[in-house]
Structure 1
Amino acid sequence: MTTTNAATATATVPEATRPAHRSPQVLRWLGAYTASTLGDSVYYLALSWSAVSGGSPAQAGLVMAVAAVPRALLMLGGGVMADRLGPRRVVIASDAVRCLVVLGLAATLFLASPGLWALAAVALVFGVVDALFLPAVGALPPRIAERDQLARVQGMRGLAYRLGAVLGAPLGGLAVALGGPATAFGIAGILFALSLPLLGALKLRPLPQEDETRDGTALRDLADGLRYLRGHQALGPLMIVVLLADLGFTGPLNVGLAILSEQRGWGASGIGWVLAGFGTGAAGASLLLTVKGHVPRAGLVMGWTMAVGAVSIGALAYLPLLPLAALAAVSVGLLAGLSGALCNALVQTECDPAYLGRVSAVSSLGSLGLAPLSFPVTGAAIGLWGPGPVFVASAAVCALSGVYALAVPALRRAELPK
């Protein structure tokens, strides 16, 4: 082989032969995702503090809930936009809008006291932007990493999310304490801005469909995506699994845990310890995937971790001591974190990349649009029957998601590429 040929061969060694944690492309995406997640955490803390300080508890709750409506209504449309325009463009536009809106709110708060209407308007914009951002973020990894690295990428994404949640809240609290909500909103805007050059430097793999002219409408694209999901042996059932898991999991974690802590006398610190246990377990699952990079018999493992993790969810309501509840939460976080990451990895490896925005939108719609509807139902049910039966019923729904995954041959036999 000549020197020129050797150099050519070296130059054409695919980027994908590198593990994801050594790929510049993946690291740029991860840095942008981490900055955006930190910005989200700081923003939500500043928003909740400002809403509570400027109005009644009911008004504050309304401000915090405003974002959920457009997010749920527009999520499927966001998936269509991600597939039509490309996920990188949509994510860049989303973070740019969030940056400008939050910095504008920070400047307004420095100069005046606009009241709750300004906070509600910003929350509404964030709901619309989230409906575009979330499907596009889910569609990016297969465009920057090889299929055999997608499980590792999901592990890295999970670690980044936990880092943003752990560091973002204290950072936002410190900013509010030192300079008020305006300072916190300003820091959130800067964090959103940090993601933009990293996203701009990404080089996405082209899809075969990108060379073809789209002559259909957005509504036709949406219908086409839903038909694709319905006809896919693994992805269609996987959407049902994700929905059942979210419906069973989010109510106890978001509403039931607060009621349980009050009844047990654990107080607000008790909620913190239990959530810290959950976060620790979820971070451990993400770290496992990041290091290992491949889980054999992924569909089988996903089903069993969902079914076994449901036992820990049900046990939470019957553990009178806070340390035991925190340990149970570690188990919930570990098993739910692993099954959730495997769900995401299977979505990205099973799905044709041309449909990934729309499929990611359907997957996100369950957790962010439909599952929150269970919150008032969970609270009312605990008021009628107590936490024990409600946690057990929620655990049964989670277990059903795992049993269903194991019962569908295409899911049970699903594998991640090596």
Structure 2
Amino acid sequence: MTAITAPPATTADAFVPERPAHRDGNVLRWLSAYAASMVGDNVYYLALSWAAVRAGSPAQAGVVMAVSALPRALLMLGGGVIADRFGPRRVVIGSDAVRCVAVLAVAALLWRADPGLWPLTVLALVFGTVDAVFTPAVGALPARVTSHGQLTRVQGMRGLAIRFASVVGAPLGGLGVALGGAAAAFGIAGLLIAVSVPLLISVRTRELPPEDASGGATTAWQDLVAGLRYIRGHRVLAPLMLAIAFGDLGFVGPLNVGLTLLADERGWGASGMGWVLAGFGTGAGLASLLLAVRGRLPRAGRLAAYTIFAGSAAIGALAYAPNLAAAVGVALLVGLLAGLSGALCGALLQTQAEPARLGRVTAVSSLVSLGFAPLSMPLSAAAIGAWGTGPVFVVSAAVCGLGGVVALAAPGLRRAELPH
């Protein structure tokens, strides 16, 4: 097995001056487009959930919400190939345009009539299919809009945009529903996604060196196989994917289904659960802010492992918090540690992968996070029903901690550094 490392920054990085990303107009245009699109996504999911519940039974609404997951999981790896072959900027622009048209079409349909569940199901299917292409392209785009040394800071800025979207999107969607029903909320989502398109068109991307660019002589299947072999043979990316997988599998269940059941068990109610989630979101936002301001953290591989361990311990402790105030404090710690480890893993992925293969690399990591990790949610719910919240949170924490074990056991990942 050949050990492959990320190439040094050479002519590929000469396109963008080495300046802080937060002062780079090109990066800021990309970030604005990304934030607008993500806020639109949050509004869309709230509108879809509301419209599906109003149009059918809770079970039918659940089916509509789950429809997008299947094509996204099945087509994600192919989406990475498309992003690398055609360029992430072009793919992101096309994906946002399709998503915008689809959402606005359903908004117009709901405004004129009450067609039932079928347009919502079609919309969810289209959105999931497009997401399979959009997600890898979004992950591959930062390496084309900034210099290699600023990718870590951009990762932190992207994390802040995600937190902003989650804070703003849900209330904005709720306001749309209150003022004009699901049609108005879908309209807001479509317009927000539309805002991203001209911003993305204005973003300049650097070309890859000839030796890194795809020559088009290979088939899509050959590109996919080559991408998987590249990850498997990489001394940092291969263990990093495994660490991400363990971290997500141990994290998703407790912080989604498990937290709801814990709040119900302790009598915290929906407002209490909201405070716990706010604590987690605040911690994760602080972690992204740290990375955005500092630009890099030394000994990134070791630091990622240590924060995974500490975050795992905090996840296990959450189930034993004596009261709501303590639970909010622990959740803040979970968000800070898990957010920092996640940001470091994302930054290492961005900086270690060759830009020409970053779409496929992002596709694999996204498939783990969006395709496999959610499978832990029904398992966590069933296990909590059988053994209670405490033991399940502890087991989940142990699974999450295995990511730290992988990071320390793999020399390449343990010694990995972020670029200056």
Contact 2:15 2:206 in 1 (8 A): no
Distance in 1, Cα, partners of 2:407 & 2:352: 15
TM-fit CA distance, 1:25: 1.1
Matches within 5 A, 1:337-352: 337-352=339-354
* Distance change >3 Å, CA 187–CA 72, structure 1 → 2: same
Match of residue 267 from structure 1: 269
TM-fit CA distance, 1:212: 5.8
Residue ranges of structure 2 left out of the alignment (5+ in a row) = 1-12
Match of residue 415 from structure 1: 417
> Which of these residues, 297, 301, 304, is aligned with residue 295 of structure 1?
297
1:270-317 Cα offsets, whole Å, 9 max, x none, are 111111000000000011111111101111111100011101100111
> In structure 2, what residue type is equivalent to 1:326?
V
Match of residue 385 from structure 2: 383
Give SS of 1:346's match. Answer: helix
Tell me whether 1:125 sits opposite 2:155 in the alignment: no
Contact 1:264 1:320 in 2 (8 A): no
Contact 1:64 1:123 in 2 (8 A): yes
Match of residue 234 from structure 1: 236
Distance in 1, Cα, partners of 2:285 & 2:306: 19
* Distance change >3 Å, CA 328–CA 118, structure 1 → 2: same
TM-fit CA distance, 1:147: 1.6
1:157-210 Cα offsets, whole Å, 9 max, x none, are 011000000001000000100111101100100001000011101111111247
With normalisation by structure 2, the TM-score equals 0.95
TM-fit CA distance, 1:60: 1.0
With normalisation by structure 1, the TM-score equals 0.96
> In structure 2, what residue type is equivalent to 1:83?
D
TM-fit CA distance, 1:120: 1.1
Percent identity, aligned pairs only, is: 66
Give SS of 2:419's match. Answer: coil
Contact 1:260 1:317 in 2 (8 A): yes
Distance in 2, Cα, partners of 1:141 & 1:131: 18
How large is the Cα RMSD of the aligned pairs? 1.3
Contact 1:249 1:398 in 2 (8 A): yes
Match of residue 161 from structure 1: 162
Distance in 1, Cα, partners of 2:15 & 2:203: 16
1:65-85 Cα offsets, whole Å, 9 max, x none, are 111101100000000000000
Distance in 1, Cα, partners of 2:123 & 2:14: 47
Distance in 2, Cα, partners of 1:16 & 1:247: 39
Distance in 2, Cα, partners of 1:295 & 1:25: 24
Residue ranges of structure 1 left out of the alignment (5+ in a row) = 1-11
Contact 1:77 1:222 in 2 (8 A): yes
Distance in 2, Cα, partners of 1:272 & 1:50: 23
Give SS of 1:289's match. Answer: helix
Match of residue 402 from structure 2: 400
> Which of these residues, 322, 335, 338, is aligned with residue 320 of structure 1?
322
Distance in 1, Cα, partners of 2:121 & 2:319: 35
* Distance change >3 Å, CA 13–CA 407, structure 1 → 2: closer
Match of residue 18 from structure 2: 17
1:327-371 Cα offsets, whole Å, 9 max, x none, are 111001001111111111111111111110000000000110001
* Distance change >3 Å, CA 331–CA 59, structure 1 → 2: same
